[in-house]
Chain A
Amino acid sequence: MTERISLPLKLLAGAIFLFLLAPSLVVIPMSFSDSREIMFPPRGFSLMLYREYFAGPEWVAATIESTIVAIGATVLSLAAGIPVAYAIARSRLASVRIIRALVLMPMLVPTIVFSLGLYLYFARIGISGSTLALILGHAVHNLPFVTVVAIAGLRQVNPNIEIAAQVLGASTLRIFFSVVVPIIRPSIIAAGLFSFLISFDEVVIAWFLSSPRAMTLPIKMYSSIQWEVSPVLAAISTLLTVLSLVICVIGLALREKEA
């Protein structure tokens, strides 16, 4: 398909790309405004809004909470997702096919339904409103993404390498830790980064599970958008966009490297 691309298609695609980028293109310049009034294009240039974000104890606390939750959820979802990806990619047992369907299910069940379930469940077992509750909820939410990325990584690996290790007498456990994990390390890092970002940005589960003592950044942003539309949001949004861009580019680069 390497013919010349027609002009109307170029223009149309350009307009749609502009629409896709519009939020970032608006938010980034606004974050450097020197007035508290929300306007575009901003007059003047200053780092006032960034200072306000980093000096606001509530914003900092929410950012720290989100970081803790995202790291916890990522560790848990990797610990569960990488081994299960190995089982799915390499074992032909019928039960593994059922496990595969179950592991991918959180991606298909509406998040609001899962969130309500967690809300009722954690209230019963007495951990509602805690950081642990958020970590557990996000770990399950991220599990399908981690597993899918890891399976894609495993598909690139020649299984004969593992068979060679087996012939040489390595146990399945040894093969997993000494052969499989090192080979698919780029996929594992990519999966971990994506998982961190998904959890860091997640709103719906956190909306049902957070409390004043465990409030994540998205929830703080959500109430700020709902009640006051504070200009600090522009600075936070810019930082989040940069975070997404960095993770997206690293993720792509890691997958290129592996392929």
Chain B
Amino acid sequence: MTNARNPPAVSAAVMPITGSQGDERRLARAARRASPDYQKAWFSAPAALLIAGVFIVPLLIVLFQSVTRDSFSLEGYQRILGSTLFWRILQTTLEITVGAVLLSLLLGYPIAYFIAQLRPMQRAIAMIVVLLPFWTSILVKSFAFIVILGERGIVKSMLSQVFGYELATPLMFSRIGVMIGMVHFLIPFCVFPIVNNLLAQPPELRRAALIMGASRRQAFLRVTLPLSLPAMVAGAVMTAVLSIGVFVTPALLGGRRDMMLANLIDYYTREALDWNMAAALSVLLLGVSGSLIWILSTVDSLDRN
């Protein structure tokens, strides 16, 4: 029985047909239990246990906490939506997110395009250069940017010593510092999908455009770039999701006015000790990033069709 159902594609196709009534259904269920598909499904048990116990339950507690102040109440949400602090921080979060996403795409695209044109060996080395910041601790990067951008940091002292120019704008503990840190963190997430897309594009399309008399610029703008649009959207949404919940960069590189939603959640949890507000904020943040992911999956399925 089990061996006969071997090619998994066949068993999957057969299953829905059987089991219309009574005995047949019972028989089908027994067959399903004996099938390798069913046995293999059991291998998800440890992960399911871990996810249920240490992921689903905590998220449910957040949901529960967000509507509980001694007893059931929606006061947390009302207070958040009524506070000017929340709207100001939401605005900051969205401004930083939009800016960081656009800048990462703008800087990520040229290196993705460059990497895609390299020979395999060179490409592997270039990829390591992109992967290294991806795998470097966010704290190492933050520390380095403080040294580079600080008041007596590399950029400012070089400007004053080499060009005799005293830059008054604070680069660190300001919006500029947050943006630099964020873009550095996000660029790899844009590069990976775009490189994959460019490598997967049939080279004939571009070659056809060139043979038909297009300049290299035209071939890029009218063939390569439009074809890579889905990868750019994927990169944009991924970086937006990451950026909207970011915590460390604004805390270490930003000033007081660059606080983002995650920092506000931290403030309510650990300083104001108002768990109800923290939880309500978390649910709102989850809603925003959930909608972004939904957009991503829609675009992704459009791309596949």
Q: Does B51 contact A103, Cβ atoms closer than 8 Å?
A: yes
Question: Does A108 interact with chain B (Cβ within 8 Å)?
Answer: yes
Q: Does A244 contact B44, Cβ atoms closer than 8 Å?
A: no
The distance in angstroms between the C-alpha atoms of A109 and B245, with both chains bound, is 9
- B159-189: which have CB < 8 Å to A? 184, 187-188
Of the candidates B42, B113, B115, the one whose C-beta lies within 8 Å of that of A87 is B42
Given A1-B203, A20-B130, CB of A172 within 8 Å of CB of B36: yes
Chain B minimum-CB-distance residue to A122? B58
Chain A minimum-CB-distance residue to B217? A6
Q: Does B147 contact A30, Cβ atoms closer than 8 Å?
A: yes
In the complex, chain B residues whose CB is within 8 Å of the CB of A93 = 37-38, 41
The distance in angstroms between the C-alpha atoms of A3 and B210, with both chains bound, is 12
Of the candidates A81, A112, A197, A222, the one whose C-beta lies within 8 Å of that of B47 is A81
Question: Does A96 interact with chain B (Cβ within 8 Å)?
Answer: yes
Count of interface residues, chain A, beta-carbon cutoff 8 Å: 92
- A1-52: which have CB < 8 Å to B? 1-3, 5-6, 9-10, 12-13, 16-17, 19-24, 26-27, 30, 38-40
Chain B minimum-CB-distance residue to A26? B144
In the complex, chain A residues whose CB is within 8 Å of the CB of B131 = 248, 252
Question: Does A152 interact with chain B (Cβ within 8 Å)?
Answer: no
The distance in angstroms between the C-alpha atoms of A240 and B143, with both chains bound, is 12
Question: Does B98 interact with chain A (Cβ within 8 Å)?
Answer: no
CB of B116 to closest CB in A, whole Å? 6
The distance in angstroms between the C-alpha atoms of A226 and B266, with both chains bound, is 15
Q: Does A2 contact B119, Cβ atoms closer than 8 Å?
A: yes
Of the candidates B137, B140, B247, the one whose C-beta lies within 8 Å of that of A112 is B247
The majority secondary structure among interface residues of chain A is helix
Top 9 closest pairs, chain A to chain B, by CB: A117-B58, A110-B245, A23-B144, A84-B47, A13-B114, A83-B43, A91-B40, A201-B137, A80-B47
In the complex, chain A residues whose CB is within 8 Å of the CB of B36 = 90-91, 166, 172
One of A54-62, A137-145, A184-192 contacting the partner: A137-145
Q: Does B110 contact A147, Cβ atoms closer than 8 Å?
A: no
- A211-251: which have CB < 8 Å to B? 218, 221-222, 225-226, 229, 233-234, 237, 240-241, 244-245, 247-249
Residue picked from B135, B138, B245, most chain A C-beta under 10 Å: B135
Question: Does B244 interact with chain A (Cβ within 8 Å)?
Answer: yes
Q: Does B58 contact A118, Cβ atoms closer than 8 Å?
A: yes
Given A21-B133, A84-B43, CB of A225 within 8 Å of CB of B269: no
- A93-114: which have CB < 8 Å to B? 93, 95-96, 99, 102-103, 105-106, 108-114
Given A105-B55, A112-B265, CB of A248 within 8 Å of CB of B46: no
Proximity bits, B223-251, A CB within 8 Å = 1, else 0:
00000000000000000010011011001
